[in-house]
Structure 1
Amino acid sequence: MSRFNSRADRPPRTTSPVLTTGETTHTAEGGTGYLRDAQSELFLLAVTNLVGQDTFYETAATRDSRYTRLVRALAVLEPAWTAALLRWLRNEANLRTAAIVGAAEFVHARLAHDHQAAMTPGPSAHLGAAPYSNRAVIASVLQRADEPGELVAYWEKRFGHERRDGQYDVRLPLPVKRGIADAVQRLYTERALLKYDTAAVAKRFGDVLELAHPRPAADRHWQGDLFKHALDRRHGRDEPLPDRLAMLRQRQALMTMPVQDRRALLLNAHDRQLLDEAGMTWESLAGWLQGPMDAPAWEAIIPSMGYMALLRNLRNFDEAGVSDQAAAAVCAVLADPEQVARSRQLPLRFLSAYNAAPSLRWGHALEQALTASLANIPHLDGRTLVLVDTSTSMNAGFSRDGSLKRWDAATLFGIALAHRCAAADVVSFSSARYYLSDPPGARTKAFPLQRGESVLRAIGRWRDGGWFLGGGTDTAAALRAEFCGHDRVVIVTDEQASHDHTEVDRSIPQTVPMYTWNLAGYEAGHAPSGRGHRHTFGGLTDHAFRMIPLLETSATGTWPWETESAGA
């Protein structure tokens, strides 16, 4: 009989990056709250922070202030780690605003620290020497052509001086100028100028060029002409277009076409190619036609539309009555795993598109796209208990239009994980208390999985069948009620558990791994994390799920960007 190599043995105690400090406080609902170290708090906040939006327990101003405070502190104390977080946040997590704000605060904090060090007598604590540069941090978070203008506008309002006329005086530090200039060389093209350089934004391409003074890229012989035209355009100078700017010249030619002749161009396949050659987007096409976007208009522009534009216009395609042939072409793009990977869409966007689309013809493609976006969820052996928090605080908005809630995200990730488990019990939970003085008690509702059911259909069944419970968050009581010898527990929650006579951590055996999937990034967590069998993850993608099998095979968990670089 084997004494050591038995299936019943638990894996050795492991560590993961999100660490609690040992200090406790209270959650927003009065339960025991565990404080995390600064890196862990920033990570969980960053991957769930839609800048400028209120959450259930935290106003936008409070939340954004906590975010900038953490970034600024860690820019000085842990600059390499913070630079890597910001780069990953924009490029892999695809959270653009948090990354841009974070990069601006990072560089400003480091420059302020250097200035203070230079003014202080004694040994210098200058931060200039590092394996990366402030310039590189700025460039790393600018990945779309409108983002240099976004960063300039943020820097101006945050660090500039407001004049009496309401405008701002701002001087960009040299590292910021150079980082923006590097990004401009990569991002400024004719198509980008036509799409993003509009009167609707405060900082146009010409403004960025005047502040950052980029040189044209060596391998883009036309870029000097583009920069000059952007400046002419910004200042209203009526200069002729250079010959090398062929796309802009084609757009100019289309704009001179009589309005009454424009729809005829949509009927000929050869003529429709002119739209792409002129960098026409669906938004600009609508303005050019000066009339409704009917089926011929959509069918003319669909071949040149990007992935996100297709995804967000499914309802418009249906309402305009585009043909099944055109719809099939859209579905082929949406379902292509390579296109999904390149688009870097968050899984929630596919759920949002599915909810918004009136017809059923998009459903299979969206399910395939969602499956591809969740490819990192591992297959888990044994029995898994998946607890999905559907308390009232999880009903907070999770998209700018309010169409998605935090509990939509919790349901999506909970069901998707359960589909990859050898055996899983999925349970919605909240609280059975009616008054605050009532004793702890959980309200739970088991969700029966159906073999072969798609994730999107399962989410619809969850919504329509009353699994969004509302009320408080009796997490500990739910664990005691639903745990029955499972091999692991995964809790998808905002962690704001109510007071209980037994803590969340102690409500199941200490030898059973408990993984918390945090969807809110509040300061206090509901259990210890980072050591033994208690670990916390976070974010809006499937990447962190990869940590579960690593930890269960004795590996040490790492930050997502470290995992990716190690596997590259």
Structure 2
Amino acid sequence: MARFNTRAATARPTSRVTSTGRVLRTYEGGRGHERDARSELFLLAVSHFVSEQTFYETGTDRDDRFTGLVRELAVTDPEWTAGLLGWLRGEGNLRTASVVGAAEYVKARLEAGATGGPTGRQVIASVLRRPDEPGELLAYWTFRYGRSIPKPVKRGIADAVRRLYTGKALLKYDTPSKGYRFGDILNLVHAAPDPDKPWQGELFRYALDRRFHPDTAEPPASVPVLGAHRELMALPVAERRAVVTAPGGAERLAAAGMTWEALAGWLQGPMDRAAWEAVIPSMGAMALVRNLRNFDEAGVSDEVAAQVAARISDPDEVRRSRQFPFRYLAAYQHAPSLRWSYPLEQALGHSLANVPALPGRTLVLVDRSGSMFYSRMSDRSELTRADAAAVFGTAIALRAEQADLVEFGTGSRPVRFRKGESVLKILDRFGDLGGTDTTEAVRRYYRKHDRVLIVTDEQYSYSRHGDPTSQVPSDVPVYTWNLAGHRAGHGPSGTANRHTFGGLSDAAFRMVPLLEAGRDADWPWVA
């Protein structure tokens, strides 16, 4: 008699975020599930803004947990850790956590005398993607470990410097407010110019002169943007606004690498309509998104506004900017004019391009408890994890064949929507629901759905009915999106039909169709 090869045999795919089997308590007192070190670090890393405080953890506690896990895995599992850190800065688009993680990777391996696996030099270079980041990494290292910089850090920074330093980068990021100027970094790491960039040697010399001999520093002719910038800076203040309004003014500003921040200081006066209209053509897509309110207050013309709208809603621009979807929600909430609403809706849709169109019936539960409102997305943002949860939950529900969208806290209630409706309009229907009774929300609304998706920080309160995932039959998939990275999960993960993902981008959504097609879901950076 056949025991295994029967018609009922089906694949039981698994995901990488895995529980150990050890029972913990959530911060709310619910029955929690411990995750292994890799899973805990992954969920913490993709939700971690360094020094950011949450409802349940201080910023220092989270930082210590993050660095402790990085240091442990840098020694015991360097291939995996290096892959995480490179992906975190790349597709994950989290700068500070990846820079801190790379520094701690090097420190832990040096202390342990570890060899084999990706070198510290490789890991450092992999996380430095923007010209100001070599200085960020050096500042972190010296603050934490002193001014003795080990060779792997120096060599990784030197590799990044050759790749990142240009004339425009110098103008934008080499400012007196920085603790490490470009010249300081070049002096410290002894970066040789890229032989494939003949102009870079002169650029490096100018950066050094600009830092240590500013009175005699002369911009090299081989980097035209530096000379054009110096010409503008030499103009008397009284003549500068005429440059903005003259024919070809926008082109001259762009050729001189003039950012909107630099333009505001250069004019030594208000950023009026003419100033904005001159600099808008050379602004990046996300700089445009962040300044929509300023454009309205200055009264930029409808013609220029239409150009801005086309830029910020262009799918290629959205893809290149690699911004989290909640950035567009923030812009929508703060821009006073209705002329930006539809372009922002389009941009939000493009940023959620990986959300799958799930077949059958889907139950989507969005955590709107107090802890989700307490934790902001970053120190510079007013948006909360509750906002992010609502964005993702709504997008899933709109894209699914049939979906029930529910918000929960102490209580729970459905969020009504129609197919084709605006994500941004639906978000206005979510509320603040107090405590966290995830289990009861699942019990109340699960009605033989084909799958359940829960977007949450996983910190549910004690329930006599057990954890939230136990309310769903074992043959029905439950997907949890963890937006906080706390240690204890609200249910098991890594087993058949129980999967936990993390992060504020939509990369993890790709895993759902894989799992439902009977395939295992690997870490996002594994091809």
Q: Partners in 1 of 2:250 and 2:484 — Cα distance?
A: 46
Which residue in 2 is equivalent to 1:129? 116
Structure 2 residue matching 1:143: 3-state secondary structure: coil
Q: Partners in 1 of 2:521 and 2:215 — Cα distance?
A: 59
Q: Partners in 2 of 1:241 and 1:475 — Cα distance?
A: 62
Contact 1:11 1:553 in 2 (8 A): no
Which ranges of structure 1 fall in alignment gaps of 5 or more residues? 115-126, 161-169, 432-442
Listed one character per residue, the Cα deviations across residues 466-523 of structure 1 (whole Å, up to 9, x for unaligned) are: x323321111111111111111100111000110112123212122111111000000
Which residue in 2 is equivalent to 1:120? none
Taking the TM superposition and a 5 Å limit, the aligned residue runs for 1:109-508 are 109-114=108-113, 127-130=114-117, 132-160=118-146, 170-239=147-216, 240-396=218-374, 397-431=376-410, 443-460=411-428, 462=429, 467-503=430-466, 504-508=468-472
Q: Partners in 2 of 1:5 and 1:452 — Cα distance?
A: 43
Moved more, 11-20 or 553-562: 11-20
Residue 546 of structure 1, CA deviation: 1.3
CA gap 1:269/1:219 in 2 versus in 1, 3 angstroms: farther
Residue 458 of structure 1, CA deviation: 1.3
Letter in 2 for 1:316: N
Taking the TM superposition and a 5 Å limit, the aligned residue runs for 1:20-59 are 20-59=19-58
Q: Partners in 2 of 1:497 and 1:321 — Cα distance?
A: 48
Q: Partners in 2 of 1:191 and 1:230 — Cα distance?
A: 12
Which residue in 1 is equivalent to 2:85? 86
Letter in 2 for 1:232: D
Which residue in 1 is equivalent to 2:101? 102
Q: Partners in 1 of 2:232 and 2:512 — Cα distance?
A: 55
Contact 2:18 2:39 in 1 (8 A): yes
Structure 2 residue matching 1:425: 3-state secondary structure: strand
Listed one character per residue, the Cα deviations across residues 199-256 of structure 1 (whole Å, up to 9, x for unaligned) are: 1111111111111110011121111111111111212442233322321111111111
What is the TM-score of this pair, normalised by structure 2? 0.96
Q: CA RMSD in A?
A: 1.4
Residue 10 of structure 1, CA deviation: 9.6
Structure 1 residue matching 2:413: 3-state secondary structure: strand
Listed one character per residue, the Cα deviations across residues 381-424 of structure 1 (whole Å, up to 9, x for unaligned) are: 11000011111111122232341011100000000000111000
Contact 2:16 2:522 in 1 (8 A): yes
Residue 456 of structure 1, CA deviation: 1.3
Q: Partners in 2 of 1:70 and 1:495 — Cα distance?
A: 20
Residue 373 of structure 1, CA deviation: 0.9
Residue 140 of structure 1, CA deviation: 0.6
Letter in 2 for 1:156: T
Residue 553 of structure 1, CA deviation: 1.4
CA gap 1:10/1:56 in 2 versus in 1, 3 angstroms: farther
Structure 2 residue matching 1:561: 3-state secondary structure: coil
Listed one character per residue, the Cα deviations across residues 241-277 of structure 1 (whole Å, up to 9, x for unaligned) are: 3322321111111111121111111223323311111
Q: Partners in 2 of 1:218 and 1:146 — Cα distance?
A: 22
Letter in 2 for 1:138: I
Q: Partners in 2 of 1:20 and 1:513 — Cα distance?
A: 16
Contact 2:220 2:226 in 1 (8 A): no
Structure 2 residue matching 1:14: 3-state secondary structure: coil
Contact 1:11 1:552 in 2 (8 A): no
Q: Partners in 1 of 2:480 and 2:137 — Cα distance?
A: 34
Q: Partners in 2 of 1:204 and 1:421 — Cα distance?
A: 50
State the identity as a percent: 56
Contact 1:31 1:496 in 2 (8 A): yes
Letter in 2 for 1:140: S
Q: Partners in 1 of 2:150 and 2:340 — Cα distance?
A: 48
Contact 2:286 2:312 in 1 (8 A): no
Q: Partners in 2 of 1:175 and 1:188 — Cα distance?
A: 20
Q: Partners in 2 of 1:133 and 1:158 — Cα distance?
A: 21
CA gap 1:113/1:259 in 2 versus in 1, 3 angstroms: same
Contact 1:388 1:491 in 2 (8 A): yes
Which residue in 1 is equivalent to 2:14? 15
Listed one character per residue, the Cα deviations across residues 425-477 of structure 1 (whole Å, up to 9, x for unaligned) are: 0001111xxxxxxxxxxx111011123211112112x2xxxx32332111111
Residue 11 of structure 1, CA deviation: 5.2
Residue 67, structure 1, aligned to residue 80, structure 2: no
Which residue in 2 is equivalent to 1:554? 518
Contact 2:398 2:420 in 1 (8 A): no
Moved more, 390-399 or 535-544: 390-399
Q: Partners in 2 of 1:84 and 1:329 — Cα distance?
A: 39
Letter in 2 for 1:26: R
Listed one character per residue, the Cα deviations across residues 104-161 of structure 1 (whole Å, up to 9, x for unaligned) are: 00011111111xxxxxxxxxxxx3333x32111100100000000000000000110x
CA gap 1:76/1:241 in 2 versus in 1, 3 angstroms: same
Q: Partners in 1 of 2:432 and 2:100 — Cα distance?
A: 36
Structure 2 residue matching 1:536: 3-state secondary structure: strand
Q: Partners in 1 of 2:449 and 2:9 — Cα distance?
A: 13
What is the TM-score of this pair, normalised by structure 1? 0.90
Which ranges of structure 2 fall in alignment gaps of 5 or more residues? none
Contact 2:249 2:278 in 1 (8 A): no
Contact 1:480 1:507 in 2 (8 A): yes
Q: Partners in 1 of 2:222 and 2:516 — Cα distance?
A: 58
Contact 1:86 1:102 in 2 (8 A): yes
